[in-house]
Amino acid sequence: MSLDVRGEIIKLARELALEPGDLDFLEGAERDDVHRLRVAIEDALDGRNRGIYRRIEASSRLLPPAIAVRIARASFPPLIVGRVSEEIPADRSPKFLEHMPMSYMGELLVHMNPRRMVATIQAMPATQMAPMIKELEKRGEYVTMGRFLGVLADAQIPKVLAVIDDGRTLLLAGFHTEDPARLDNVVLALSDTQVAAIREAVAAHGLERELGTILDALSPELRERLESNGAG
């Protein structure tokens, strides 16, 4: 669940192929209500085709990964390829990644639901994840970063965060995390340099509200870590 109703609206708009502005009327609702609605819609739409997504992935095993990727890119929109990719087991995903341009991978990541691929994500080495994180950062995809951040294994968090220097990216990825209970681990994994970068970003970009929301979700000692660096 996002910390803020806007994050839920952005995710719901993506699922429905709408612009977030089309769902502005939901701004007046409670975050928990919009979260429940968004998850139910994602599950209902996904349930219509999950069987065929599984069979598309199964049939792709008959083809060399390079050809499977080429056919997928030419035949299906990124949302469908992303959903089929959720079915690729952890041991096969590196073979596909070798043949996927990172810019295209970025398009897929936006449409993938990390809740459905926890085992695959948690089996992924940081070296494989780093270029994806950088691609999402380049695209300003903080909502997607937050979704993935929410399902990382504890041991992965420091390694993944290590590739992000930009304070604004760190703050907004945390702000959009799918699982605010993980924020303690995120803040614990930050270097002093990253904490300072977050503080600078808050001042430079007027992100006091986002920081305040994160601070509210932290345990007291970790809240102090961000605040003692002058943030808040």
Partner 1 sequence: MSDIERIAAVTGLGADELAFLDALDANGVKALADRLEAVGPERDREVDVGIEGALKMIPRLLRAPVRKILFAGTR
Binding stretches for partner 1 (CB under 8 A): 16-18, 22-26, 28-30, 33, 36-37, 40-41, 44-45, 48-49, 51-52, 55-56, 58-59, 62-63, 67, 70-72, 74-77, 79-80
Least CB distance to partner 1 at residue 78 (A)? 11
Report the nearest approach of partner 1 to the CB of residue 59 (Å).
Answer: 4
Q: Least distance to partner 1 from the beta carbon of 8, Å? A: 13
Q: How far is the CB of 17 from partner 1 (least distance, A)?
A: 7
Query: Buried (b) or exposed (e) across 28-61, using 16+ Cβ within 10 A?
Result: eeebeebbeebbeebeeeeeeeeeebeebbeebe
Q: Which is nearer to partner 1, 72 or 164 (CB)?
A: 72
The residue among 26 and 201 lying less far from partner 1, judged by its C-beta, is 26
d(CA 172, CA 186): 12
Q: Least distance from C-beta 33 to partner 1, angstroms?
A: 4
In whole angstroms, give the CA distance from residue 213 to residue 3: 7
56 vs 218 by CB, closer to partner 1: 56
Q: Which is nearer to partner 1, 55 or 209 (CB)?
A: 55
Rank residues 59 and 128 by Cβ distance to partner 1 and give the closer one: 59
